[in-house]
Chain A
Amino acid sequence: MPQFFLRPGHRLAILFALAVASVALAPIASLVRIAAIGDAEIWPHLVAYVLPASLRDTLLLLAGVGTITVIAGTGTAFAVATYRFPGRDTLVWLLPLPLAIPTYIVAYVYVDILDAFGPVQGALRALFGWRSAVDYWFPDVRSLGGAIVVMGFVLYPYVYLAARAMFQAQSATLVEAARLFGASQFQCAWHVTLPLARPAIAAGLALAMLETLNDIGASEYLGVRTLTLSIFTTWLNRGSLPGAAQIACLMLLIVAALVALERYGRGARVFANPDHAPPAEPATLRGTAAWSVSACCFLPVLLGFVIPLGYLAREVLARGLLIGFDPALLQHVANTVVFAGCATAVSLALGFGIVAAWRLTQDRLVASAAFVASLGYAMPGTVLALGLLSPLVAIDDSLNWLMHNFAGRNVGLLVAGSGAALVIAYTARFIAIPVGFAHAGFSRISFDLDHVARILGARPRAVTRSVHVPLLRQAIWGAALLIFVDCLKELPATLLLRPLNVETLSTYIYQFAARGNFEEGSLAALLIVLVGILPVIRMVRHADAALYRQGEPMPA
């Protein structure tokens, strides 16, 4: 392994990595501590009656959502990167938009639309003359199948963004070489292009799976008994916080094992772009091929974004929410954007920083620290929040002790009781995103570039600044977008950790959704989408423009 750093820099990098890892480690340590306090008395009952059904539902949900997100995300990314067809330029930034809508809202919307009293079944009844819902069979949205479809079409953008970044950066020479050897278009895609995008697809898929795993709102409403739901019922109904913590630890172990398995499965394969030649010119499709690709790519957007957005807009108008506009909403928007913005900046810096440190030192400890930092994403939001409470209050207690001894005053809870707690919670939870994107981004930068830069006299930090960062631009923007939108939508940790009198758009909607009346929060949901869409479009365009500036042909 090439050693780049002189000793002091190496030590600094390791310290930095450990500091970042500790942000995610603090709640995990709290969790383990709570789990250790309890005994195992609840486990016989759980194993006999709860876990079999929970595990089965959870695994089926993950498998189903995983399949849909990989097919939809990779397929659309590949189509958009490789071909020109009608509507492609609009689809490029339309495709990630389902990200902007919270999953549980989409679940509520589809139940409203597809249920017995909704417009779809109403139209069917009018068409065929059926009198009531018992006269015909219609798939129930409130089921495991419904949950798989809803979550799949909301979460595919994770895979789409990651895969597209990879496809855009792939050199044309590899594909040309394959074609010279007689491979058909399909064989090129299957044996060359897609395998090269494996780290990115894996990173995107991991994020989508973890989102699914940690979802509570949609799962509970649609009647899917996931492991996360078991954690909550064990805590609240079976009255055992240690038992709940034990289940959460088990989940973390499984997630960590799966991620490690995928990394191991990658083996020593190198995914780097060998010559940084520009990607192949997109081929123009014509006729039915063009229109069918167009339609297929538009379908995920329609299901995951257009229909829910249309429904929300209709509810806002129907309920006169614009006329009876609650002025407090503006304050909530401001809060939401400030918290999300700060958390994005902090997470990006720490996440890319830790992976850059690994790149420059090739140190195994730094790699492990990056891995541990990513585990925050695997914890459900409430569990993370509970775990963070102790460390944050400990910081405040130390501050109070200092102030008491030196200034004779008590300052109360400065960190735990303020917005900083939320920013720290978001960072701990979402740092997996920049770490994943950074890994995927670095994997396609060949070490040769690093070597050449060093031979030419650049110090390690200059290598990162001048070589890595420009090549990582798409990864950085992709990560920033995802973190920002995820922070906008984040609910459970926000509910628990926010300061008095502070609401975000998510918590505002939740008040209505908790009572089964989420439509009253439609305007707030629409605002989340609008606040989320603008960065999406901006960043996708920015990433394309960055490509153009580097002298590579801009996808037309």
Chain B
Amino acid sequence: MTAIPVCAVACAVAVAALTTSGAAFAQGEVNVYSYREQKLIQPMFDAFTKETGVKVNVISASSGLEQRIVTEGANSPADVLLTVDVARLQDAVNAGITQPIKSDALDKTVPAEYRDPTGAWYGISMRARVVYASKERVKQDSISYEELADPKWKGKICIRSGQHMYNNALFAAYVAHYGEAEAEKWLGGVKANLAQKPSGGDREVARDIAAGKCDIGLGNTYYWALMNDKEADKKAWAEATKVILPTFKKSGGTHVNLSGVVLVKSAPNKANAMKLIEWLVSENAQHMYADINYEYPMRKGIKINPTIASYGEISPDRLPVAKIAEQKKAAATLVDKVGFDN
């Protein structure tokens, strides 16, 4: 009976010793906390290591990484925080874990509306939230976000949860453009047009359209391309749908969201971190973002993936992304008020 606690403590100590992160402070390493899934970002890191010889240590999670960095404090091994949504970038700034990134290369490559005015974060790739529409039942080839609330779409719209971060960003952009009162009316209109209770993900939107349950829905640019090019069991869904690049009537632009990068305040490997951040907007990396991740590169002159290019020429909304982050809470509140997910 007493042998068990002794073994248990010995195990725990062994585990601690074997997997400690002490090595993370060694020369030639950089530690990345990433909201982007590891499988997607690993090819980039491998290419970076090949070019520069700097080893990249990663963990990825879906939430809580800023809290982890805050709590870890001065001893935190984190050098760089990679996000998939603009709100997390702003959360990192608000949590006080960032330091300004000073880099001419970054300032030249990243347009002003896709970076923080004080240099706290930079966007490194973009994706747009677009309309998936049934090829046989929807004849039009252009649409506005405002039109989604039009009663002609009653019972015809499929969408994932209104509180999911991608929708939250789009709704926040709407609030930033038109104000809360207009946005609430619009959300109410979209809610009235839903064919079913929101559930599933963006792929389910294409799936449901293909099954005939609805005619249009919202999804990110890369999902359709992935289903079409890489996922044989889901290709039927992509073939039954087409992608329309919607625009805001006010600005004529399509809503985009950013993947961004933050330099952590207490970064132990600052020089390597800057190397990595600057490398992520280099030609090589931006090619990979375009080809492997099916995203829109931030750098000009990089060829967009042909499937993504087939959607049409995108005119990204020029609303400063920082303004979208400001309205996230308001958007979430409005989604609750109209009972969007109920």
Q: Mark B210-249, 1 if CB is under 8 A from A, else 0.
A: 1111000000000100100001010011000000000000
Residue numbers in A under 8 Å from B1 (CB-CB): 461, 464-465, 469
Q: Which residues of A contact B58 (CB under 8 A)?
A: 500-501
A449 to B276, CA, bound (A): 68
Tell me the bound Cα distance from A90 to B58 in angstroms: 44
B64 touches A225 (CB 8 A): no
Of A66-74, A269-277, A305-313, A417-425, the stretch lying at the interface with chain B is A417-425
In the assembled complex, the Cα of A344 lies from the Cα of B73 at a distance in Å of 30
Chain B residue nearest in CB terms to A498: B59
A53 in contact (CB, < 8 A): yes
Closest residue of chain B to A495 (Cβ to Cβ) is: B61
| B329 CB contacts on chain A under 8 angstroms | 237-239
Minimum CB–CB distance for B10 against chain A, Å: 9
Q: Is the CB of B19 within 8 A of A499?
A: yes
The minimal Cβ–Cβ distance linking B107 to chain A, given in whole angstroms, is 29
Closest Cβ–Cβ distance, residue B342 to chain A (whole Å): 5
Are A496 and B68 neighbours in the complex by a CB distance under 8 Å? Answer: yes
Residue on B with the closest CB to A421?
A: B16
User: Are B59 and A237 neighbours in the complex by a CB distance under 8 Å?
Assistant: no
Cβ contact within 8 Å between B75 and A400: yes
Docked pose: A346 CA to B7 CA in angstroms: 9
Interface residues on chain B, size class: 35 or more
Judge whether B57 is part of the interface by a CB distance below 8 angstroms: yes
Is B117 on the interface with A (CB-CB < 8 A)?
A: no
Query: In B293-342, which residues have CB < 8 Å from any A CB?
Result: 328-329, 331-333, 336-337, 339, 341-342
B169 to chain A, nearest CB (A): 10
- Check if A348 is an interface residue, CB within 8 A of chain B: yes
**Could you tell me if A345 and B8 are in contact, using CB atoms closer than 8 angstroms?**
yes
- Asked if A49 contacts B336 (CB within 8 A), the reply is yes
Q: Does B161 contact A (CB under 8 A)?
A: yes
Contact: A233 with B39, CB < 8 Å? no
Chain B residue contacts of A503, Cβ below 8 A: 38
Within 8 A of A (CB), among B163-184: 163, 165, 168
Number of residues on chain A facing chain B (CB within 8 A): 85
Chain A residues near B212: list those with CB within 8 A. 116, 132-134
* 34-53 of chain A: CB within 8 A of chain B: 45, 49-50, 53
Chain B residues, Cβ within 8 Å of A523:
none
Given contacts A49-B337, A221-B201, contact A345 B4 (CB under 8 A): yes
Most B CB atoms within 10 A — which of A469, A510, A516? A516
Contacting pair B59 A500 (CB below 8 A): yes
Residues of A within 8 A of B38 (CB): 503, 511
Known: A349-B8, A397-B75. Is A133-B211 also a contact (CB below 8 A)?
yes
CB within 8 Å of A: which B22-75 residues:
22, 24-25, 31, 37-40, 57-65, 67-68, 71-73, 75
Please determine whether B197 and A143 come into contact, CB atoms closer than 8 angstroms.
yes
Considering the complex, give the chain A residue whose CB is closest to the CB of B3.
A349
Q: Is B203 an interface residue (CB 8 A)?
A: yes
* B61 and A417 form a contact (CB under 8 A): no
Is B11 located at the chain interface by the 8 A CB criterion? yes
Chain A interface residues (CB < 8 Å from chain B): 45, 49-50, 53, 111, 115-117, 132-134, 140, 142-143, 220-223, 225, 232-233, 235-239, 241, 318, 335, 338-339, 341-342, 345-346, 348-350, 353, 382, 385-386, 389-390, 393, 396-397, 400, 410-420, 422-424, 461, 464-465, 469, 492, 495-503, 507, 510-512, 514-517, 519
Q: List 6 A-B contacts (CB under 8 A).
A: A133-B211, A237-B163, A353-B5, A422-B15, A511-B60, A512-B37
Q: Which 7 A-B residue pairs are closest in the complex by CB-CB distance?
A: A223-B199, A116-B211, A420-B16, A237-B332, A419-B19, A49-B336, A419-B15
